[in-house]
Amino acid sequence: MLLRTMDPNAHKKARLVNRLSREELLKKLENENFRRITLSFYKYVLIDDPNSLRDRLFSMWSRLNCLGRIYVAREGINAQMNVPEHHFDTFKKELYSIPEFENVPIKTAIQDDNKSFIKLTVKVRPKIVADGLDDNAFDVTNVGKHLSASEWNQMMTLPNVKIVDMRNFYESEIGHFEGAILPKAETFREELPEVLNLLKGNEDAPVLLYCTGGIRCEKASAYLKHHGFKHVHQLHGGIIDYYRQVKQENLENKFRGKNFVFDNRLGEQVSEEVIAHCHQCGKPCDTHRNCANKACNILFIQCDECAARFEGTCSKECQKVLHLPTEEQKKILQQVKQKKTFMRYRRWKPECS
C-alpha cells in the first residue's frame, strides 16, 4: 500500500540518507582498492538554512563516496570524515566553493587505517558541539590567543601556568600533555563549569587550553574570558595539528600517549608511551573497545588478553549474556533501549581474579 504525503519533495529527501545495513557497509569497504584520507574540520559561521546546506553536503559527498559524521547548525559546521584519495582535490575545491567554508583549515589524521568511518551521516543539530551555554550571555567571538606548537611548548614552561585538557576524562585517560589539569567530566557540557571551578583564584595566571582539533577551545576560551580570566590561550588546530607541527619542525613532543578520536579507530598514537591501564586486569594498555554485549556497549579500555578471556565484554555478567540464545539477547537489548539505561563509559576498576 502506498502512503500519501503532503511533502512533494519527500521522495527526494528519502534518498539523502544511508539505506545499507552495517554488514553491507563493511563488505563494501573491504572490497575497496583505493586509499581514504581521514580528516576533520570545523568553523563557527552563521548558516542561514542548515537543512538546505545539510542536503547539499550529503548529495555532494555521496557523489564523491565520502564517509563520516558531520554536524551542521546555525552556528557552523563540525566534520569528521574520510575522503577517497583520488577525490580529495575535488572535495576541497567543492568545499571551498561554499562561501561560508572558503579556505577552512582541514586537518588530516595522525594515523589512518582506511576504516575510520563506514557510512556518511550529515545531521542538523542545535549546536555543532553540545556545550549547554547561552551564547547570547557572552561574546563568543572573544576567544583566546591561538598558539603554534612552538609557542605552546614555550608557554608550558612559564611559572604558574595552568594547562587544561578540554576533553572528556576517557579521552585524557589514554593521552594528555605533561602537567595538564584533567577534568573528570564525561561531556563538554559538564566540563565547562568544572574547569571554571578548578581554575578559580587563578584569573591572572596564563591559561593554556587544548582539545582534539581546537573546536571545544573556541567556546571554552571565550567562556573563561567572560568569567574574568585575563590571559587565555589555546592550541591552534588542537592535538592533531600539534603533532603535525612537531614532526615538520622537529620540535619536542610534550604530549604523552594516544589521542582519542571519535571514529572506528578510537585512538591514534602521538607518542610511544602507554599511560593508561586495562580496566579489567590493570596492566598498561590504551586500547578502547565497546563491550561486545550490545545491551551494554559501554566504552572501556581492554588489553588483548582480557579481550580473549572475556570475549570482548566488559564484565563476567556481560560475557554471560553473549552465551544466551539470540532471541534472549534481542529481548534484553530491547528492554535496555526502552528504559534508556545505557551507560556510556566505564571508570577504571580491575575485574580479573
Q: For the segment 20-63, what is each residue's pLDDT rounded down to a tens digit?
A: 777 888 888 888 999 999 999 999 999 999 999 999 999 999 99
DSSP letters along 45-110, please?
A: ---S-HHHHHHHHHHHHHHTT-EEEEEEETTEEEEEEEEEGGGHHHHHHHHHTSGGGTT---EE-S
* Fold assignment, 142-256: Oxidized Rhodanese; domain 1 (3.40.250)
CB proximity list for 101: less than 8 A, separation 6 or greater: 43, 45, 77, 95
Give the Å distances, CA to CA, from 80 to 61, 108, 231, 245, 323.
13, 10, 30, 20, 36
- The amino acid at 252: E
Give the domain ranges of the chain: 31-124, 142-256, 276-353
- The amino acid at 46: L
Element (H, E) at 243: helix 238-249
Among residues 211, 278, 291, 303, which one is catalytic?
A: 211
Q: For the segment 98-122, what is each residue's pLDDT rounded down to a tens digit?
A: 999 999 999 999 988 878 999 999 9
**Phi, then psi, of 270 in degrees rounded to 5:** -105, -35
Cell 594515523 belongs to which residue?
Answer: 111
Of the candidates 238, 253, 260, the one whose C-alpha atom is nearest the C-alpha of residue 173 is 260
* Active-site residue flag, 211: yes
Beta strands in 125-230 (DSSP E): 145-147, 162-165, 175-177, 206-210
Q: Report, as ranges of residue numbers, the positions in the chain whose pLDDT lies below 70.
A: 1-17, 339-353
pTM, rounded to two decimals: 0.86
CB 218 within 8 A of CB 211: no
CATH class of the domain defined by 31-124: alpha beta
